Structure 1
């Protein structure tokens, strides 16, 4: 990515899913209710969603806003969280799955895509070893 160019991971995810659902900003905003706190109502406003998609500054969303956005978009929360981490914190999330792992092991790395395939493999092996060590101490 060219220097000075802001990442748009969450913005692009929201724009793409909004188009796929064929909904207006207002309709999408009304759907952004956090399933864990439904009484609090929508977590996003039409204007904030529009600003996000159009590249204008928005505050980094917290967990309740991300859960609400995931609900509104009809996407898994983890996908929305990963996109938010990438856009607002420059952290790439990589899922490592394998028989030796207890579920998914999530590695959050800055600039993961810049690592060589060999280095990515080394990190996967570290995650597997770490997972094995943790299960032995339980």
Structure 2
């Protein structure tokens, strides 16, 4: 027989259930409420202006009610950004949090966040030169 104390110690070593994230679903639900738009009307607005990709009412319903959904890809994010009348980056941040566990960049200024989003479009050599320039203006933290 295993002593109860030993059993309790083993329970503490087991991984806990992963945190259920709902940032993207919360954003869509909240924005739909702010716009005072029903699910059908919202789904009709959820069309990517570039590709014409549509997000279905059923997918939005499952997302909002916490049912399993396939994570949205860029065309779906663009469609939902159009329906929400929000910048694409806001939806990308929330989707990254909910579906991939990636927390968005938090900064004291909106400019810093915009710079980081643009940074990924630069070639590696230009990013390195930019970092060296920034280091001459603001020396890196010692640590």
- In the TM superposition, 1:119-134 aligns within 5 A as 131-133=130-132
Q: Using the alignment, how far apart are the partners of 1:20 and 1:48 within structure 2?
A: 20
2:45 paired with 1:31: yes
Displacement of 1:103: 4.8
Q: Give the equivalent residue in structure 2 for 1:65.
A: 76
Q: Give the equivalent residue in structure 1 for 2:56.
A: 45
Instruction: Say which structure is richer in strand.
Output: 1
Q: Give the equivalent residue in structure 1 for 2:100.
A: 89
CA 1:133–1:13: 2 relative to 1, 3 Å: same
Q: Using the alignment, how far apart are the partners of 1:17 and 1:103 within structure 2?
A: 22
TM-score by length of 1: 0.67
Match of 1:78 among 89, 103, 121: 89
* Secondary structure of 1:56's aligned partner: coil
1:82-112 deviations in Å (ceiling 9; x for gaps):
00000000000105477xx795215xxxxxx
Q: Which runs of 5+ in 2 are unaligned?
A: 1-15, 118-127, 136-143
Q: Which runs of 5+ in 1 are unaligned?
A: 107-128
Match of 2:35 among 21, 26, 29: 21
Asked if the contact 1:97/1:103 (under 8 Å) is kept, the reply is no
Q: Which runs of 4+ in 1 moved over 3 A?
A: 2-5, 95-98
Asked if the contact 2:105/2:113 (under 8 Å) is kept, the reply is no
Displacement of 1:36: 1.6
1:36-65 deviations in Å (ceiling 9; x for gaps):
22xx35x21111101000000000110000
Displacement of 1:33: 1.2
TM-score by length of 2: 0.65
Residue-pair matches, total: 108
Is the radius of gyration larger for structure 1 or structure 2? 2
Displacement of 1:78: 0.2
